[in-house]
Amino acid sequence: MKTKNTISKILTYTLLIALTILMLVPFAWMLSASLQLNKDVFKFPFDWIPNNPVWSNYKEIWTKIPLGKFIFNTSKLTVIITLLQLFTSSFAAYAFAKLDFKYRDKIFLCYVATIAVPWQVYMVPQFIMMRELNLSDTHFALILLQAFSAFGVFLIRQFYMSIPNELLEAARIDGYSEYKIYYKIMLPLAKPALSTLTIFTFVSVWNDFMGPLIYINSEAKKTIQVGLRMFISQYSAEYSLIMAASLIALIPVLIIFLALQRFFVEGVASSGLKG
């Protein structure tokens, strides 16, 4: 029996290691390709560790397109939208989880049901609405449309449900208002769920392509994903530069995930403890 368990563990770890390597290969190729001359990117056999790394690729991409401006625009949108979603989602989740009001569960069900509606269904009405409000070609349109998240409310509400009501009752007896309970008790306890939502929102907004493509026309207001697409259309043959630009766009996402990953698993697991 012990031998059988050992073999099972070995096979499991071998499979996991193989899958990990398989997932990392494209990123390793992107890193290696970004440090080579364009003529060497698709040579066979591929030189995974370049003998003479072309570090100038990372300098040249800043002159080909306004990459710094694109990164600034994306960073601004990502930070603002992430902070707004954290506030609106945690605030609404507290009401749905711990306050008793008429039709609470029905309203929550209707709100969460919007997750199942594909964005393509209401994409055109949203655009018409933003155009009528004269918000086309503005960052405010993207901020307004993404400031609220039904998924975020659902995620944090599930975490709030695992917090004992007795804790809140004791706080009310001590004279805490609902706002103070939310700020002083619920938010500190919800760090894992908030960190999980931060990762989801940050990655989603940073990698958003369709939203900026639809609403942003001015080059000075474009985001990194639209900028990369513009870069590819202008320099489709310069794959080494394209890989360098893509790698730079990937770095902030990796930093956020690595910084918050210790809360990620705990937040996802805790959010499903109690429905």
pTM of the model: 0.84
**Residue ranges covered by each domain of the chain:** 56-270
Residue 93 pLDDT greater than 90, yes or no: yes
Label each residue of the chain as H, E or C.
CHHHHHHHHHHHHHHHHHHHHHHHHHHHHHHHHCCCCHHHCCCCCCCCCCCCCCCHHHHHHHHHCCHHHHHHHHHHHHHHHHHHHHHHHHHHHHHHHHCCCCCHHHHHHHHHHHHHCCHHHHHHHHHHHHHHCCCCCCHHHHHHHHCCCHHHHHHHHHHHHCCCHHHHHHHHHCCCCHHHHHHHHHHHHCHHHHHHHHHHHHHHHHCCCHHHHHHCCCHHHCCHHHHHHHHHHHCCCCHHHHHHHHHHHHHHHHHHHHHHHHHHHHHHHHCCCCC
**Rounded mean pLDDT, 59-68:** 84
> How much is the mean pLDDT over the chain?
86
Residue 274 pLDDT greater than 60, yes or no: no
What is the CATH number assigned to the segment(s) 56-270? 1.10.3720.10
